[in-house]
Amino acid sequence: MPPLLLLGFVGAAAYYGFQQMKKDAARVTERNRQAEAEQRNRAHGTLVRGQDGVYRLRKD
């Protein structure tokens, strides 16, 4: 019984790690895509509109 519990724990940890890796990969891909777009447009950053209606540089 203990080896089965250990195997289940290792499997759950592997699944959780894989999900985190996919999420991080998607985030990095989106950041790279945005950086390439900024280089094509010769921009120094991306402006986003705040809740007060003022545009500011997006913070990563």
pTM above 0.75, yes or no: no
The answer, yes or no, to whether residue 14 has pLDDT greater than 90, is yes
The parent domain of residue 29 ranges over: 2-57
Start-end of H helices in the chain: 2-40
Closest C-alpha among 35, 57, 37 to residue 48: 57
Tell me the average pLDDT across 1-20. 96
pLDDT band at 59 (very low <50, low <70, confident <90, very high): confident
Measured over the CA atoms of residue 7, residue 13, residue 19 and residue 21, the dihedral's sign is negative
Work out the percent of the chain whose per-residue pLDDT is above 70. 98
Give the count of domains, the chain. 1
pLDDT for 2 equals: 87
Other CB atoms within a 10 A radius of the CB of residue 34 amount to 15
pLDDT tops 80 at residue 60: no
What is the C-alpha to C-alpha distance for residues 1 and 8, in angstroms, rounded to an integer? 11
Across 30-58, average pLDDT:
92
